[in-house]
Amino acid sequence: MTLSLLTAGVVLFHLLGIFAAMHAVMHTRTPQGAIGWALGLLLLPYLTLLPYLYLGESRFRGYLSKHQARLLSSVPVLADEDAVAPGCARFDSIASMQGRPFRSGHRLRLLIDGDATFDVMLAAMEAAEQCLLVQFFIFHDDNLGRRMQQVLLQRAAAGVRVCVLFDGVGSHDLPRHYVDTLREGGVAIHPFATRRWRNRFQLNFRNHRKIVVVDGARAFIGGLNVGDEYLGLKPPLAPWRDTHLELQGPVVTDLQQLFAEDWQWITGAPPPLLPSPPCDGEASALVVASGPADPQETCSLYFTAAINAARERVWLSTPYFVPDYAVLAALRLAVLRGVDVRMLIPSRPDHRTVFLASTLHAYQALRAGIRMFRYQPGFLHQKALLIDHDSASIGSMNLDSRSFRLNFEVTALVVDRSFAAEVEAMLEADFARARQVDEHEYTDAPYLRRVAMHVARLFDPLL
């Protein structure tokens, strides 16, 4: 009897593996991923069925129709699109992919590291009079998290409508009482989750965006989350190097739209929305959003198009250097055009598998003529891109498969010489604190460590 049950179980596993392999072949985005999943599901279904249930889906079902609807069609954008900087034209493919144009008339403030960012952001939130939209990948119940909690409660008590989203996986250790306290204080707060049955078991599709909008007039995006480590208070990664951006102007409406799409997916109702008032700034900007609901791999295409537009320089800062073939090809072509291509990456790992794969990619990039630098003082979490002398972007996008294909991300692409000069000065200071990498980092590594790098690279689609 026991043997019969065991045999039936083995047969069932293999049948399920066959059906799952068919699904993988039909739906996995890349041929490499399809081959990997199919072989694993056919040969070792006992080990791969459960991971496939949690990781195998490549598209965020059900969100797409809401994403395409553009929920804020009733919210006017107060901007003269004909007045954008001439340099915006070379990024037309990115604007077309987004379905929104560059907009003119923005004031910007570059916020370097956690103290400067949260001092300005929390002060802006404390001044909110009508509406606060707040979204982070991570909330922690620590000193910074409680500072944020108190501001949200105070504004809700003052009659401000406060809407908060956090990622259910990114904030997996956020205690229930933190959320309950906010709800009891009048804050509408929800975890971002897949919610639909077809995505129910997926650990992919994380909402990695960081968006704060104050009264429809001021917005903040970038790389920082709500936790003491982002203030550089948690060794061994401290000090923490990161960058955020404050925006005023018409693209604040676009950021409200992104928040509204996520909010309505979770709650079924739109958040409070306000028109963004005119601004006397001079910068032109485009909000670039990406995610697994997109019909194409928007994040990868964004980096590819931006790099291809460069004629003088591409300086890029990223915590995870795991580029796909399209982005790496764009970087190589830029080198061949005579473009100054520099990449700033961490010297300390926060995820060891990613760090190993990144080290191998850095070696291959060096051989293609890309200059690689490792930031020395602490962990580098900054996501910044500088193109030539007039364009730069700050946001949440990493150079890895999670950002390219699986996470919801957002960045602001700015065309403005003054802002680009600020980003240039910031990155020059970062490069001055970095060590330039040479090929010996890979070639002089112990053999087993080099083997580990190549094994880690096999997991690029999941990193």
Q: What is the DSSP string of 123-164?
A: HHHHT-SSEEEEEES-B-SSHHHHHHHHHHHHHHHTT-EEEE
Mean of the per-residue pLDDT values of the chain: 88
pLDDT, tens only, 261-314? 999 989 989 999 999 998 889 999 999 999 988 888 999 999 999 999 999 999
Rounded to whole angstroms, the Cα distance separating 302 from 315 reads 15
CA distances from 435 to 112, 212, 380, 441 (A): 20, 34, 13, 11
Band (22; pLDDT cuts 50, 70, 90): confident
Indicate whether 226 and 357 sit together in one domain: no
Check residue 77 and give its pLDDT.
Answer: 44
Residue tagged active-site, from 67, 106, 140, 208:
208
Domain endpoint, select from 55, 76, 96 = 55
Look up residue 104 and give its two tokens: 């003119």
Active site residue 66: no
pLDDT, tens only, 345-363? 999 998 899 999 999 999 9
pLDDT, tens only, 159-175? 999 999 999 889 999 99
pLDDT of 389 strictly over 70: yes
User: Which residues is 289 bridged to in the sheet?
Assistant: 410
Check residue 149 and give its pLDDT.
Answer: 98
Burial class (CB in 10 A: 0-12, 13-18, 19+), 341: buried
Band (92; pLDDT cuts 50, 70, 90): very high
Percent of the chain clearing pLDDT 90 (strictly above)? 70
Active site residue 215: yes
Residue tagged active-site, from 167, 383, 400, 460:
383
Determine, yes or no, domain membership for 292: no
User: Residue 251 in 3-state DSSP?
Assistant: helix
Determine, yes or no, domain membership for 94: no
Number of H helices, E strands in the chain: 16, 17
Please give the residue range of the domain that contains residue 374.
298-462
Check residue 454 and give its pLDDT.
Answer: 93
Determine, yes or no, domain membership for 93: no
Indicate whether 72 and 199 sit together in one domain: yes
Higher pLDDT, 158 or 52: 158
Check residue 18 and give its pLDDT.
Answer: 77
Q: Report phi then psi at 194, rounded to 5.
A: -70, -40
Minimum mean pLDDT range among 44-48, 126-130, 370-374, 389-393: 44-48
Indicate whether 311 and 431 sit together in one domain: yes
> Which CATH number characterizes residue 272's domain?
3.30.870.10
Judge whether 139 and 174 are in contact, CB under 8 Å: yes
Computed from CA positions of residues 98, 99, 100, 102, in that sequence, does the dihedral angle turn out positive or negative? positive
Q: How confident is the model over 312-322, as a mean pLDDT?
A: 97
pLDDT of 50 strictly over 90: no
pLDDT of 79 strictly over 50: no
Whether residue 236 has a cis bond before it, omega within 30° of 0: yes
Determine, yes or no, domain membership for 304: yes
Check residue 183 and give its pLDDT.
Answer: 97
Check residue 193 and give its pLDDT.
Answer: 78
- Rama region for 105: left / alpha / beta (φ>0; ψ in -120 to 50; rest): left
Active site residue 234: no
Indicate whether 79 and 218 sit together in one domain: yes
Indicate whether 258 and 302 sit together in one domain: no
Indicate whether 222 and 320 sit together in one domain: no
Helix axes 325-336, 352-367, angle to 10 degrees: 30
Active site residue 381: yes
Indicate whether 427 and 336 sit together in one domain: yes
Domains identified in the chain, total number? 3
Judge whether 50 and 13 are in contact, CB under 8 Å: no
Indicate whether 250 and 331 sit together in one domain: no
Higher pLDDT, 78 or 250: 250
Determine, yes or no, domain membership for 92: no
Check residue 463 and give its pLDDT.
Answer: 61
Domain endpoint, select from 281, 309, 332 = 281
Active site residue 210: yes
pLDDT of 72 strictly over 50: no
Residue tagged active-site, from 113, 141, 167, 215:
215
Indicate whether 166 and 136 sit together in one domain: yes
Q: How confident is the model over 80-106, as a mean pLDDT?
A: 88
Band (456; pLDDT cuts 50, 70, 90): confident
The predicted model scores a pTM of 0.88
Q: Report phi then psi at 462, rounded to 5.
A: -105, -5
Indicate whether 132 and 277 sit together in one domain: yes
pLDDT of 81 strictly over 60: no
Check residue 202 and give its pLDDT.
Answer: 52
pLDDT, tens only, 170-213? 999 999 999 999 999 999 999 987 655 444 445 667 899 999 99
Residue tagged active-site, from 67, 262, 381, 400:
381
Indicate whether 144 and 265 sit together in one domain: yes
Residue tagged active-site, from 113, 242, 294, 388:
388
Q: How confident is the model over 415-432, as a mean pLDDT?
A: 98
pLDDT of 369 strictly over 80: yes
Judge whether 227 and 427 are in contact, CB under 8 Å: no
Indicate whether 252 and 398 sit together in one domain: no
